């Protein structure tokens, strides 16, 4: 049976990790500036250590249980690997990371900066994960799954805890989905107190496809955000949380995401990678249409982007 994420586990996680993470800022954008008649509150989680929300889950996994001498091992499209490598570097532990060939140069640079042992394997996340599983059996290192492990998801849920403290007035919240760790954690924190909207690109629609099929299914991933949102199947923890607490699942195009990235830079001088801007794309594109005066929150969740491609 899949372990569910509770508010209590998220609170416990926050107490463990709070001295190791940044309490990322919000920006309240008045009605009319982004969407007519709708005030929008952005949370800039892309300025978290290592460039994404995933640092929260990484620290929680390290600090909530013992780590063997062999250290930790993880597979990642890039951000989870960077987060695990950063946490290991700060705590003086070993980290071995498996990433696919589609990893961005910005994310690879982060892994190198944090002194992780890097293995570039396969054409996508799933192939890197298979190689990671095989290597873990050899070394005995602690496996840190990118999105389907309770300690990881509880850590990601602390984003929701912070956002509610900073903006308790929200009616709805848009969140990008890859493997489901972020939306699983955040929706498990709110537990229906706000309307949660899952946003995916058409090339990375793991949750949307699962909800349509009535169960998690494998998909082929592609497109602009595939390195960050490129899980081929939604995680069980995220899927179960979404079934209970996510109100709507929407899709956006790669062009919508690129437009959102551009707007974040031109209007707010904030840099976001494609996956990081996907939630905002759901609002700007009209895929999600809020009610007049609905107080909308948007999580900008990752900033590891090659600036030459922005």
State the Cα–Cα distance between residues 299 and 260, nearest whole angstrom. 12
**Is the dihedral angle over the CA atoms 289, 295, 299, 303 positive or is it negative?**
positive
Q: What share of the chain is helix, strand, coil (3-state, %, to 5)?
A: 45, 15, 35
Residues 86 and 203 both lie in one domain: no
d(CA 189, CA 183): 10
Phi-psi category of residue 121: left, alpha or beta, with phi > 0 → left and psi -120 to 50 → alpha: beta
Structural domain including 59 reads 55-143
DSSP string, 25-65: -EEEE-TTTSBTTB-EEEEEGGGSGGGBTHHHHHHHHHHSS
Check residue 224 and give its pLDDT: 74
Q: What's residue 93's pLDDT?
A: 94
Q: Which residues pair with 143 in a beta bridge?
A: 73
Q: Using an 8 Å Cβ cutoff, are 97 and 50 in contact? A: no
d(CA 124, CA 75): 10
- What's the token pair of residue 117? 């042992």
Percent of the chain with pLDDT over 70: 97
User: What pLDDT is stored for residue 307 in this prediction?
Assistant: 76
- β-sheet bridge partners, residue 250: 199
Q: Which helix (H) or strand (E) holds 238?
A: helix 236-245
Write the pLDDT tens digit of every residue in 239-264: 999 999 999 999 999 999 999 999 99
Q: Which of 2, 26, 5 is nearest to 14 (CA)?
A: 5
Q: Are residues 76 and 184 in the same domain?
A: no
- Report if residue 40 sits inside a domain: yes
The pTM assigned to this predicted structure is: 0.93
Query: What confidence category does residue 228 fall into, taking pLDDT thresholds of 50, 70 and 90?
Result: low
Could you tell me the sign of the dihedral formed by the alpha carbons of 186, 190, 191, 195, in that order? negative
Are 23 and 160 within one domain? yes
Q: Is residue 250 part of a domain?
A: yes
- Whichever domain contains 74, its CATH number is 3.40.50.1100
Please state the length of the chain.
310
Predicted confidence (pLDDT) per residue in 160-216, tens digit:
999 999 999 999 999 999 899 999 999 999 999 999 999 999 988 999 999 999 998
Give dist(CA 76, CA 55) in Å, integer.
13
Give me the chain's average pLDDT, please. 92
181 and 217 inside one domain: yes
Clarify whether residues 191 and 170 are in a common domain: yes
Tokens representing 27 are 């920006």
41 and 60: one domain?
Answer: no
| DSSP state, residue 26 | E
3 state DSSP class of 155? helix
Tokens of 112: 């190198």
Count up the domains in the chain and report the number: 2
Residue 227's pLDDT band (cuts 50, 70, 90): low
Q: Are residues 14 and 60 in the same domain?
A: no
Which of 179, 184, 197 is CA-nearest to residue 158?
184
Last residue of a domain, one of 123, 143, 163: 143
What gap in Å lies between CA 307 and CA 261, rounded to an integer? 11
- Give the pLDDT confidence of 73-110 residue by residue, as tens digits: 999 888 899 999 999 999 999 999 999 888 888 888 88
pLDDT at 103: 82
Tell whether 1 is covered by a domain: no
The answer as to whether 2 is a domain residue is no
Nearest Cα to Cα of residue 299 among 209, 208, 194, 224: 194
Last residue of a domain, one of 112, 143, 174: 143
Q: Are residues 175 and 283 in the same domain?
A: yes
- 161 and 264 in a single domain? The answer is yes
Q: 236 Cβ partners below 8 Å, 6+ apart?
A: 2, 148, 216
Q: Which of 89, 120, 143 is the last residue of a domain?
A: 143
Does residue 1 register a pLDDT over 60?
A: no
Sign (positive or negative) of CA dihedral 179, 185, 190, 192? positive
């Amino acid at each position: 049976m899949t372990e569910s994420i509770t508010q209590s586990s998220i609170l416990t996680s926050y107490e463990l990790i709070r001295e190791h993470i940044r309490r990322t800022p919000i920006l309240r954008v008045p009605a009319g500036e982004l969407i007519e008649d709708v005030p929008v509150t952005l949370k800039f989680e892309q300025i978290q250590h290592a460039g994404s929300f995933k640092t929260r889950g990484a620290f929680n996994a390290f600090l909530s249980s013992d780590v063997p001498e062999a250290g930790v091992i993880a597979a990642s499209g890039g951000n989870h690997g960077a987060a695990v490598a950063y946490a290991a570097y700060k705590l003086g532990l070993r980290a071995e990371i498996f990433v696919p060939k589609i990893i961005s140069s910005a994310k690879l640079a982060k892994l190198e900066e944090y002194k992780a042992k890097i293995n570039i394997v396969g054409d996508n996340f799933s192939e890197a994960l298979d190689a990671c599983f095989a290597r873990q059996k050899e070394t005995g290192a602690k496996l840190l799954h990118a999105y389907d492990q309770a300690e990881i998801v509880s850590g990601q849920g602390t984003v929701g805890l912070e956002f509610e403290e900073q903006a308790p007035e929200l009616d709805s919240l848009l969140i990008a989905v890859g493997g489901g760790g972020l939306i699983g954690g955040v929706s498990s924190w709110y537990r229906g107190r706000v309307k949660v909207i899952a946003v995916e690109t058409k090339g990375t629609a793991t949750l949307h496809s699962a909800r349509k099929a009535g169960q998690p299914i494998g998909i082929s991933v592609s497109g602009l955000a595939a390195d960050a949102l490129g899980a081929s199947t939604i995680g069980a923890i995220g899927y179960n949380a979404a079934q209970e607490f996510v109100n709507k699942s929407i899709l956006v195009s790669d062009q919508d995401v690129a437009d959102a990235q551009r707007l974040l830079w031109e209007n707010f001088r904030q840099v976001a990678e494609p996956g990081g801007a996907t939630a905002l794309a759901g609002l700007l594109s009209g895929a999600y249409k809020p009610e007049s005066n609905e107080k909308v929150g948007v999580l900008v969740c990752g900033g590891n982007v090659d600036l030459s491609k922005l």
